[in-house]
Amino acid sequence: MHCYCLLAMTSEEIVETVKKALDEENNKKRKFVQSVELVINLKDVDLQKPQNRIDEEIELPKGRGRPAKIGVFASGELAFKAKDVADVVITPEEIKELAEDKKKAKQVAESCDFFLAEAPLMPTIGRSLGRVFAPRGKMPKPIPPDADIAPIVEKLRKSVRVRSKDRPTFHCLVGREDMPPEDIAENVENVLHRVESKLERGRMNIRSAYIKTTMGSAVRVI
């Protein structure tokens, strides 16, 4: 049975925590716009067992602050449509080229936050690029060749990938420092709820959680 008791801390209190993480005491101004991250520490979870690990794709209700970059493996009509909405389009011929050039394959994997693939191409991608894409959490999500790709890409542009791997401490993007604190707080709540829902004991499996900017000090949420 899951325990959903996170919001003993109210939405207003989370907003105040975000504001504290963004204020000058904890976040000196930099020459670039910093990302805002949520850091989660788990407890009493055996992460050596893959089924206990967190690996979630979560749409942030207020977006990332800067849209995620999307790559699409596709051919024919789907590739044509993808060129209008995605950042990178990879054809079947290019899959073979990437398989023969590991350095370039790594560069492509790192160039995008998420990948989609025409479903029939998934076996080829797995064989050819799985060793590069899988460890990075970048294996493509399969879609039908006749799919309307625009709304799928639009959703991914506002999403983040939350992965614990085998470590109890992990983090994910929840916005940028130039976003309203209320928007960042809503994203934080959404991520915490999703993570809780995947833990056997819900909130009781979360030791602590912090909010911090890229270069700033961490401020405890729970």
Extents of the domains making up the chain: 6-65+159-220, 70-157
Class of domain 6-65+159-220: alpha beta
Please compute the mean of the pLDDT values over residues 113-122 and round it to a whole number. Answer: 97
pLDDT band at 3 (very low <50, low <70, confident <90, very high): very low
- For residue 182, what pLDDT is reported? 97
- CB contact at 8 A, 60 and 157: no
Residue 114 predicted with pLDDT over 90: yes
Q: How far is CA 48 from CA 97, 166, 167, in A?
A: 35, 6, 9
Distance between CA atoms of residues 176 and 190, nearest Å? 16
Question: b vs e for 58-87, b when ≥16 Cβ sit within 10 Å of the residue's Cβ?
Answer: bebebbbbeebebbbbbbeebbebbeebbb
Q: Considering the chain, what percentage of its residues have pLDDT values greater than 70?
A: 96
What CATH number matches the domain at 70-157, 3.90.1580.10, 3.40.50.790, 3.40.50.300, 3.40.50.150?
Answer: 3.40.50.790
Residue 2: the pLDDT is 45
Has residue 149 got a pLDDT over 90? yes
Q: Specify the pLDDT at position 8.
A: 58
* Mean pLDDT, the chain, whole residue set: 93
Q: Is the model's pLDDT at 129 over the cut of 90?
A: yes
In this prediction, residues 79-84 reach a mean pLDDT of: 95
Note the pLDDT tens digit of each residue in 167-217: 999 999 999 999 999 999 999 999 999 999 999 999 999 999 999 999 999
